[in-house]
Protein backbone atom coordinates (compact mmCIF):
# COMPACT_ATOMS: atom_id res chain seq x y z
CA UNK A 1 0.00 0.00 0.00
CA UNK A 2 2.76 2.43 0.89
CA UNK A 3 4.40 2.26 -2.53
CA UNK A 4 1.12 3.17 -4.22
CA UNK A 5 0.98 6.83 -3.16
CA UNK A 6 4.42 7.50 -1.69
CA UNK A 7 5.70 10.95 -2.71
CA UNK A 8 2.86 11.52 -5.14
CA UNK A 9 1.07 14.88 -5.14
CA UNK A 10 -2.56 15.82 -4.88
CA UNK A 11 -4.60 18.91 -4.03
CA UNK A 12 -6.77 20.10 -1.15
CA UNK A 13 -10.25 21.57 -1.35
CA UNK A 14 -11.04 24.49 -3.59
CA UNK A 15 -9.99 26.20 -6.82
CA UNK A 16 -11.03 29.62 -8.22
CA UNK A 17 -11.95 28.21 -11.65
CA UNK A 18 -15.35 29.11 -13.08
CA UNK A 19 -15.51 26.25 -15.62
CA UNK A 20 -15.87 22.82 -13.95
CA UNK A 21 -14.84 20.74 -16.98
CA UNK A 22 -11.69 22.79 -17.47
CA UNK A 23 -10.93 22.52 -13.75
CA UNK A 24 -11.12 18.71 -13.90
CA UNK A 25 -8.97 18.57 -17.04
CA UNK A 26 -6.36 20.67 -15.24
CA UNK A 27 -6.54 18.51 -12.09
CA UNK A 28 -5.80 15.40 -14.14
CA UNK A 29 -2.92 17.11 -15.92
CA UNK A 30 -1.39 18.19 -12.59
CA UNK A 31 -2.17 15.03 -10.60
CA UNK A 32 -2.74 12.19 -13.08
CA UNK A 33 -2.00 9.45 -10.54
CA UNK A 34 -3.79 11.03 -7.57
CA UNK A 35 -6.59 13.38 -8.72
CA UNK A 36 -9.17 15.11 -6.55
CA UNK A 37 -12.45 16.86 -7.30
CA UNK A 38 -12.38 20.57 -6.36
CA UNK A 39 -14.91 22.86 -4.73
CA UNK A 40 -15.66 25.70 -7.18
CA UNK A 41 -17.39 28.47 -5.28
CA UNK A 42 -17.03 30.83 -8.24
CA UNK A 43 -19.38 28.50 -10.14
CA UNK A 44 -21.95 28.28 -7.34
CA UNK A 45 -21.91 29.86 -3.90
CA UNK A 46 -23.29 26.58 -2.47
CA UNK A 47 -19.96 24.92 -3.18
CA UNK A 48 -18.41 25.63 0.20
CA UNK A 49 -17.35 22.86 2.54
CA UNK A 50 -20.43 23.25 4.78
CA UNK A 51 -23.14 23.58 2.15
CA UNK A 52 -21.65 20.97 -0.11
CA UNK A 53 -22.51 18.14 2.28
CA UNK A 54 -25.72 19.60 3.74
CA UNK A 55 -28.09 18.54 0.97
CA UNK A 56 -30.90 16.19 2.12
CA UNK A 57 -29.65 15.81 5.69
CA UNK A 58 -32.70 16.04 8.02
CA UNK A 59 -33.08 19.32 9.83
CA UNK A 60 -30.64 21.25 7.65
CA UNK A 61 -32.19 24.19 5.84
CA UNK A 62 -30.69 26.99 3.80
CA UNK A 63 -31.76 30.51 4.70
CA UNK A 64 -31.62 32.57 1.51
CA UNK A 65 -31.78 35.86 3.42
CA UNK A 66 -28.82 35.04 5.66
CA UNK A 67 -27.14 32.93 2.96
CA UNK A 68 -26.27 30.20 5.45
CA UNK A 69 -27.34 26.78 6.68
CA UNK A 70 -29.25 26.22 9.91
CA UNK A 71 -30.38 23.26 11.96
CA UNK A 72 -34.17 23.26 12.39
CA UNK A 73 -35.78 20.64 14.63
CA UNK A 74 -39.13 22.44 14.80
CA UNK A 75 -40.41 21.89 11.27
CA UNK A 76 -43.41 19.60 10.80
CA UNK A 77 -41.52 17.18 8.57
CA UNK A 78 -38.36 16.89 10.68
CA UNK A 79 -39.38 13.80 12.70
CA UNK A 80 -40.78 12.06 9.63
CA UNK A 81 -37.57 12.65 7.68
CA UNK A 82 -35.47 11.66 10.67
CA UNK A 83 -37.06 8.23 10.96
CA UNK A 84 -36.54 7.61 7.25
CA UNK A 85 -32.94 8.81 7.50
CA UNK A 86 -32.02 6.44 10.32
CA UNK A 87 -33.67 3.50 8.54
CA UNK A 88 -31.77 4.35 5.37
CA UNK A 89 -28.50 4.60 7.27
CA UNK A 90 -29.04 1.16 8.79
CA UNK A 91 -29.82 -0.36 5.37
CA UNK A 92 -26.84 1.28 3.67
CA UNK A 93 -24.12 0.83 6.28
CA UNK A 94 -25.10 -2.50 7.84
CA UNK A 95 -26.99 -4.21 5.01
CA UNK A 96 -25.00 -2.66 2.12
CA UNK A 97 -28.08 -1.54 0.21
CA UNK A 98 -26.24 1.07 -1.84
CA UNK A 99 -29.27 1.80 -4.01
CA UNK A 100 -30.42 4.11 -1.22
CA UNK A 101 -27.23 6.15 -1.37
CA UNK A 102 -28.44 8.27 -4.27
CA UNK A 103 -30.83 9.98 -1.86
CA UNK A 104 -27.73 11.34 -0.12
CA UNK A 105 -25.66 12.12 -3.18
CA UNK A 106 -23.70 15.35 -3.59
CA UNK A 107 -25.56 16.77 -6.58
CA UNK A 108 -24.04 18.88 -9.35
CA UNK A 109 -25.80 21.91 -7.86
CA UNK A 110 -23.46 21.58 -4.87
CA UNK A 111 -20.41 20.14 -6.67
CA UNK A 112 -20.37 21.15 -10.32
CA UNK A 113 -17.08 19.37 -11.04
CA UNK A 114 -18.14 15.93 -9.82
CA UNK A 115 -19.88 14.63 -12.99
CA UNK A 116 -16.79 15.54 -15.04
CA UNK A 117 -14.59 13.94 -12.39
CA UNK A 118 -16.41 10.63 -12.59
CA UNK A 119 -16.21 10.65 -16.40
CA UNK A 120 -12.48 11.35 -16.28
CA UNK A 121 -11.91 8.56 -13.75
CA UNK A 122 -13.49 6.07 -16.14
CA UNK A 123 -11.01 7.12 -18.83
CA UNK A 124 -7.81 7.48 -16.81
CA UNK A 125 -7.88 4.84 -14.01
CA UNK A 126 -5.41 6.58 -11.64
CA UNK A 127 -3.50 4.86 -8.84
CA UNK A 128 -5.52 6.68 -6.18
CA UNK A 129 -8.65 8.81 -6.23
CA UNK A 130 -9.34 11.47 -3.63
CA UNK A 131 -12.59 12.93 -2.34
CA UNK A 132 -13.50 14.93 0.73
CA UNK A 133 -16.12 15.91 3.25
CA UNK A 134 -16.04 18.47 6.02
CA UNK A 135 -15.09 16.84 9.31
CA UNK A 136 -17.72 16.31 12.02
CA UNK A 137 -16.18 18.75 14.53
CA UNK A 138 -15.99 21.60 12.02
CA UNK A 139 -19.45 20.74 10.64
CA UNK A 140 -21.10 20.50 14.03
CA UNK A 141 -19.53 23.65 15.43
CA UNK A 142 -20.31 25.67 12.29
CA UNK A 143 -24.04 24.89 12.32
CA UNK A 144 -26.44 26.57 14.72
CA UNK A 145 -30.17 26.53 15.27
CA UNK A 146 -32.43 29.60 15.28
CA UNK A 147 -31.51 30.32 18.90
CA UNK A 148 -27.80 30.29 17.98
CA UNK A 149 -27.21 26.99 19.76
CA UNK A 150 -24.34 25.00 18.31
CA UNK A 151 -25.38 21.67 16.78
CA UNK A 152 -22.36 19.84 18.14
CA UNK A 153 -23.60 20.26 21.72
CA UNK A 154 -26.91 18.53 20.97
CA UNK A 155 -26.49 14.73 20.94
CA UNK A 156 -29.33 14.12 18.49
CA UNK A 157 -28.16 16.77 16.05
CA UNK A 158 -24.58 15.59 16.33
CA UNK A 159 -25.63 12.03 15.53
CA UNK A 160 -27.55 13.22 12.47
CA UNK A 161 -24.55 15.20 11.21
CA UNK A 162 -22.07 12.36 11.74
CA UNK A 163 -24.29 9.83 9.99
CA UNK A 164 -25.05 12.31 7.20
CA UNK A 165 -21.34 12.89 6.60
CA UNK A 166 -20.75 9.14 6.57
CA UNK A 167 -23.31 8.72 3.80
CA UNK A 168 -21.87 11.62 1.79
CA UNK A 169 -18.41 10.05 1.98
CA UNK A 170 -19.64 6.53 1.25
CA UNK A 171 -21.57 7.76 -1.79
CA UNK A 172 -18.32 9.14 -3.20
CA UNK A 173 -16.50 5.87 -2.55
CA UNK A 174 -19.16 3.81 -4.32
CA UNK A 175 -19.03 6.17 -7.32
CA UNK A 176 -15.22 6.02 -7.36
CA UNK A 177 -15.28 2.23 -7.42
CA UNK A 178 -17.85 2.18 -10.20
CA UNK A 179 -15.70 4.52 -12.30
CA UNK A 180 -12.27 3.05 -11.55
CA UNK A 181 -12.44 -0.18 -9.53
CA UNK A 182 -8.66 -0.64 -9.14
CA UNK A 183 -7.94 2.88 -7.86
CA UNK A 184 -7.29 3.30 -4.15
CA UNK A 185 -10.12 5.44 -2.73
CA UNK A 186 -9.00 8.20 -0.35
CA UNK A 187 -11.35 10.44 1.66
CA UNK A 188 -10.16 13.49 3.56
CA UNK A 189 -12.10 15.03 6.42
CA UNK A 190 -11.49 18.78 6.34
CA UNK A 191 -11.20 19.87 9.97
CA UNK A 192 -9.94 23.47 10.20
CA UNK A 193 -11.79 24.00 13.49
CA UNK A 194 -9.65 21.39 15.23
CA UNK A 195 -6.99 24.10 15.42
CA UNK A 196 -9.33 25.86 17.90
CA UNK A 197 -9.65 22.79 20.15
CA UNK A 198 -8.70 23.69 23.71
CA UNK A 199 -9.46 27.39 23.33
CA UNK A 200 -12.16 29.20 25.29
CA UNK A 201 -14.58 28.80 22.36
CA UNK A 202 -14.72 25.01 22.87
CA UNK A 203 -13.58 24.64 26.45
CA UNK A 204 -16.29 22.10 27.34
CA UNK A 205 -15.62 19.77 24.43
CA UNK A 206 -13.40 16.83 25.33
CA UNK A 207 -10.72 15.36 23.12
CA UNK A 208 -12.35 11.92 23.17
CA UNK A 209 -15.64 13.44 21.95
CA UNK A 210 -13.91 14.69 18.81
CA UNK A 211 -12.01 11.44 18.30
CA UNK A 212 -15.19 9.38 18.64
CA UNK A 213 -17.00 11.58 16.10
CA UNK A 214 -14.22 11.08 13.59
CA UNK A 215 -13.96 7.35 14.24
CA UNK A 216 -17.67 6.77 13.66
CA UNK A 217 -17.19 7.99 10.09
CA UNK A 218 -13.77 6.53 9.35
CA UNK A 219 -14.58 3.06 10.71
CA UNK A 220 -17.32 2.73 8.10
CA UNK A 221 -15.04 3.98 5.33
CA UNK A 222 -12.15 1.73 6.33
CA UNK A 223 -14.48 -1.27 6.18
CA UNK A 224 -14.88 -0.37 2.50
CA UNK A 225 -11.13 -0.28 1.81
CA UNK A 226 -10.79 3.49 2.03
CA UNK A 227 -7.70 5.39 3.19
CA UNK A 228 -8.96 8.17 5.46
CA UNK A 229 -7.23 11.42 6.32
CA UNK A 230 -7.70 14.62 8.26
CA UNK A 231 -6.72 17.98 6.84
CA UNK A 232 -6.05 20.76 9.34
CA UNK A 233 -4.22 23.85 8.11
CA UNK A 234 -3.68 25.44 11.52
CA UNK A 235 -1.48 24.51 14.46
CA UNK A 236 -3.16 22.07 16.81
CA UNK A 237 -2.68 19.23 19.27
CA UNK A 238 -1.49 16.74 16.65
CA UNK A 239 -2.06 13.81 19.00
CA UNK A 240 -5.79 14.34 18.52
CA UNK A 241 -5.45 13.43 14.84
CA UNK A 242 -2.89 10.69 15.45
CA UNK A 243 -5.14 9.07 18.06
CA UNK A 244 -8.24 9.23 15.87
CA UNK A 245 -7.30 6.19 13.82
CA UNK A 246 -7.16 7.93 10.43
CA UNK A 247 -4.51 6.85 7.91
CA UNK A 248 -3.32 10.29 6.82
CA UNK A 249 -2.37 13.47 8.65
CA UNK A 250 -2.44 16.48 6.27
CA UNK A 251 -1.11 19.72 7.69
CA UNK A 252 0.59 23.03 6.86
CA UNK A 253 4.18 21.82 6.65
CA UNK A 254 5.33 25.20 5.34
CA UNK A 255 4.87 26.74 8.79
CA UNK A 256 4.23 23.99 11.32
CA UNK A 257 6.70 21.18 10.57
CA UNK A 258 8.67 21.77 13.75
CA UNK A 259 5.52 21.68 15.91
CA UNK A 260 4.66 18.26 14.48
CA UNK A 261 8.06 16.92 15.56
CA UNK A 262 7.13 17.58 19.21
CA UNK A 263 4.99 14.44 18.89
CA UNK A 264 7.93 12.37 17.61
CA UNK A 265 7.11 9.06 19.31
CA UNK A 266 3.44 9.29 18.34
CA UNK A 267 4.44 10.06 14.75
CA UNK A 268 6.83 7.11 14.63
CA UNK A 269 4.15 4.72 15.86
CA UNK A 270 1.65 6.23 13.42
CA UNK A 271 3.98 5.66 10.45
CA UNK A 272 4.99 2.17 11.57
CA UNK A 273 1.30 1.25 11.77
CA UNK A 274 0.77 2.24 8.14
CA UNK A 275 0.00 5.94 8.49
CA UNK A 276 0.95 8.70 6.05
CA UNK A 277 1.92 12.32 6.38
CA UNK A 278 0.56 14.55 3.61
CA UNK A 279 3.00 17.44 3.73
CA UNK A 280 1.23 20.71 2.90
CA UNK A 281 4.25 22.41 1.41
CA UNK A 282 2.82 24.87 -1.10
CA UNK A 283 1.77 28.02 0.83
CA UNK A 284 -1.71 28.74 -0.55
CA UNK A 285 -2.62 30.74 2.58
CA UNK A 286 0.32 33.16 2.16
CA UNK A 287 0.32 34.88 -1.22
CA UNK A 288 3.72 36.50 -0.80
CA UNK A 289 5.33 33.22 0.18
CA UNK A 290 3.63 31.51 -2.77
CA UNK A 291 4.86 34.14 -5.21
CA UNK A 292 8.47 33.62 -4.10
CA UNK A 293 8.32 29.81 -3.92
CA UNK A 294 10.08 27.61 -6.45
CA UNK A 295 10.33 23.86 -6.93
CA UNK A 296 13.85 23.87 -5.51
CA UNK A 297 12.94 26.01 -2.49
CA UNK A 298 10.02 23.71 -1.64
CA UNK A 299 12.11 20.55 -2.05
CA UNK A 300 14.54 22.14 0.40
CA UNK A 301 11.57 22.96 2.67
CA UNK A 302 10.47 19.32 2.58
CA UNK A 303 13.94 18.06 3.47
CA UNK A 304 14.14 20.54 6.33
CA UNK A 305 10.70 19.41 7.53
CA UNK A 306 11.51 15.70 7.55
CA UNK A 307 14.81 16.42 9.30
CA UNK A 308 12.82 17.52 12.36
CA UNK A 309 11.47 13.95 12.52
CA UNK A 310 14.77 12.29 11.61
CA UNK A 311 16.37 14.16 14.51
CA UNK A 312 13.76 12.53 16.76
CA UNK A 313 15.11 9.14 15.73
CA UNK A 314 12.53 8.28 13.07
CA UNK A 315 13.92 6.32 10.13
CA UNK A 316 14.28 8.45 6.98
CA UNK A 317 13.20 5.63 4.67
CA UNK A 318 10.03 5.12 6.72
CA UNK A 319 9.24 8.84 6.49
CA UNK A 320 9.77 8.96 2.71
CA UNK A 321 7.68 5.85 2.10
CA UNK A 322 4.94 7.37 4.24
CA UNK A 323 4.83 10.82 2.64
CA UNK A 324 3.02 12.63 -0.11
CA UNK A 325 2.70 16.27 -1.10
CA UNK A 326 -0.20 18.75 -1.08
CA UNK A 327 -0.72 22.50 -0.88
CA UNK A 328 -1.19 23.85 2.65
CA UNK A 329 -4.90 24.40 2.02
CA UNK A 330 -7.42 25.06 -0.76
CA UNK A 331 -6.64 27.62 -3.46
CA UNK A 332 -10.16 28.97 -3.96
CA UNK A 333 -9.38 32.37 -2.47
CA UNK A 334 -6.42 32.94 -4.81
CA UNK A 335 -6.59 34.49 -8.24
CA UNK A 336 -6.37 32.07 -11.14
CA UNK A 337 -2.72 32.75 -11.86
CA UNK A 338 -1.58 32.07 -8.30
CA UNK A 339 -3.83 29.03 -7.96
CA UNK A 340 -2.34 27.58 -11.15
CA UNK A 341 1.13 28.27 -9.80
CA UNK A 342 0.31 26.47 -6.55
CA UNK A 343 -1.00 23.39 -8.38
CA UNK A 344 1.98 23.35 -10.74
CA UNK A 345 4.36 23.57 -7.81
CA UNK A 346 2.61 20.74 -5.97
CA UNK A 347 2.80 18.57 -9.08
CA UNK A 348 6.45 19.32 -9.83
CA UNK A 349 7.67 19.05 -6.23
CA UNK A 350 6.11 15.61 -5.91
CA UNK A 351 7.68 14.54 -9.20
CA UNK A 352 11.11 15.79 -8.21
CA UNK A 353 10.99 14.13 -4.79
CA UNK A 354 9.77 10.88 -6.30
CA UNK A 355 12.65 10.88 -8.78
CA UNK A 356 15.23 11.93 -6.19
CA UNK A 357 14.35 9.29 -3.63
CA UNK A 358 13.05 6.55 -5.97
CA UNK A 359 10.51 5.25 -3.45
Residues 106-135 have pLDDT tens digits of: 999 999 999 999 999 999 999 999 999 999
Query: What is the pLDDT, as a whole number, of residue 159?
Result: 95
Query: What is the pLDDT, as a whole number, of residue 74?
Result: 79
Residue 67 lies in a domain: no
Confidence tier at 3 by pLDDT (50, 70, 90): low
Lowest mean pLDDT: which of 24-33, 223-232, 235-244? Answer: 235-244
Query: What is the pLDDT, as a whole number, of residue 248?
Result: 98
Query: What is the pLDDT, as a whole number, of residue 145?
Result: 80
> pLDDT tens, 151-202?
898 898 999 999 999 999 999 999 999 999 999 999 999 999 998 887 766 7
Number of domains the chain is built from: 1
Query: What is the pLDDT, as a whole number, of residue 101?
Result: 96
Residue 99 lies in a domain: no
Lowest mean pLDDT: which of 1-10, 88-97, 138-147, 290-299? Answer: 1-10
For the residues 312-319, what does the mean pLDDT come to?
97
Residue 100 lies in a domain: no
Residue 66 lies in a domain: no
Higher pLDDT, 198 or 345: 345
Please report, for the domain that includes residue 40, its CATH number.
3.20.20.210
Residue 92 lies in a domain: no
* Residue 170: closest CA among 229, 107, 241, 96: 96
For the residues 142-146, what does the mean pLDDT come to?
85
> pLDDT tens, 237-273?
899 999 999 999 999 999 999 999 999 999 999 999 9
Residue 81 lies in a domain: no
> pLDDT tens, 49-102?
999 999 999 989 888 777 788 888 877 788 889 999 999 999 999 999 999 999
Residue 60 lies in a domain: no
> pLDDT tens, 287-304?
999 999 999 999 999 999
Domain ranges, residue 273? 2-53+108-357
Confidence tier at 2 by pLDDT (50, 70, 90): low
Lowest mean pLDDT: which of 146-155, 228-237, 266-275? Answer: 146-155
Residue 314: pLDDT above 80?
yes
Residue 79 lies in a domain: no
Query: What is the pLDDT, as a whole number, of residue 67?
Result: 76
Amino acid sequence: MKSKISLLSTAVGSLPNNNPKEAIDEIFSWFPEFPVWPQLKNVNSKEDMIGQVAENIPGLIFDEADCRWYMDQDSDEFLEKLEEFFLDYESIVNEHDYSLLEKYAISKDFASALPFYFDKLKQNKPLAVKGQIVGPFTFGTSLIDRENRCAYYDETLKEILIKGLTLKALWQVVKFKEASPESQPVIFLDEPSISQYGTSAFITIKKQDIISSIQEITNVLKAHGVLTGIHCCGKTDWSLILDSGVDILNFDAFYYAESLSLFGKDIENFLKNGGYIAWGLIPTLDEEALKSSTVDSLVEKFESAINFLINKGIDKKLILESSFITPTCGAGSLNQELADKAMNLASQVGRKLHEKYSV
